[in-house]
Amino acid sequence: MPRWEPYEFTTDRSWCDAAELGPDAVADVLAVGDVHGNTPNLTAAVDLAVDLGVGAIVQVGDFWLADAHWTRLSPLESEFMWTAHDSPLPIVVIDGNHEVWPALGRYAATPQAAAAIASRRPLHLGGSIWWVWRGSVWTWGGRAFGALGGAVSPDRRGSAVHGLRWEEEATTEEDLARLIANVDAEFGDGLDVLFTHDAPAQVRNLGPGMSGVPWDLRQAADAGRGLLSRAVEATEPALVLHGHWHRTNRERINNTTDVLGLSADGMNNSTAYLSTQPTLTASHMT
């Protein structure tokens, strides 16, 4: 039965104490593109992950993380969050530009968030939901993982999204510095996998993209992609997975890094299967 009561972020466990997320517990991952708070699309992705037998779901932003500390929270949004909460598999969420920052920002100021940031690990938001604080790092299947969320909304001034865009949505220099410091502290020699919401600036196959976007917003979005470009150069991942553009993409950048872009909202290629063993591989799911 759907759960309609207002959802509230709750941290009652830490990443390091979650046995199902331990270094040896997850070998295969289902990466999921933007879902925008759509419960049927989330349910379909969870069902696919269960059928595939993966250890975890990683959602690459525009999940629509929200709780009761946002005054506009609706029953449908609560139903979506409770569906994620009750998932049989962990759902690890990289934040995008479509998250509810009045709720996330409040939670980011709590002692629970401070402890997660200090541990360099994602933050528990209740049940099966984990929020990847920007710059978090971890190990699965002997591979070094990291994440750097955030993006600028090119449509932030549109009437349809008025009041649903916040300054915190954009990736910052502080976020980049945190990722680099955490990678250096944990791994020394860089990452195997980097999850982002937006695409690094080196990625070209993004279609019409910013056509028609006001110049200042285009500049801000390009600056964010530039930060991700520097993240790739600093951490040298073999693989980057991203969302945001609602477009399937695969290309190689810097002669060393494969980039997979995921489409959105349950469309073809909005998911990808990532395996850590025996070699690191990732491929779109049709």
**What 8-state DSSP symbol labels residue 110?**
S
Q: Within a domain: residue 7?
A: no
CATH number of the domain that residue 273 is part of: 3.60.21.10
Q: How many domains are there within the chain?
A: 1
Please provide the DSSP assignment of 42-78 as one string.
Answer: HHHHHHHHHHHT-SEEEE-S------TTSTT--HHHH
**What 8-state DSSP symbol labels residue 189?**
S
pLDDT in tens, the chain (286 residues): 678 899 999 999 999 999 999 999 999 999 999 999 999 999 999 999 999 999 999 999 999 999 999 989 999 999 999 999 999 999 999 999 989 988 999 999 999 999 999 999 999 999 999 999 999 999 999 999 999 999 998 776 665 565 666 778 999 999 999 999 999 999 998 999 999 999 999 998 887 666 667 788 888 889 999 999 999 999 999 999 999 999 999 999 999 999 999 999 999 999 999 999 999 999 999 7
Q: What is the pTM of this model?
A: 0.96
Which range marks the domain in which residue 76 is found? 28-285
Q: Within a domain: residue 19?
A: no
- Please, which residues bridge with residue 123 across strands? 131
Question: Residue 281, SS3?
Answer: strand
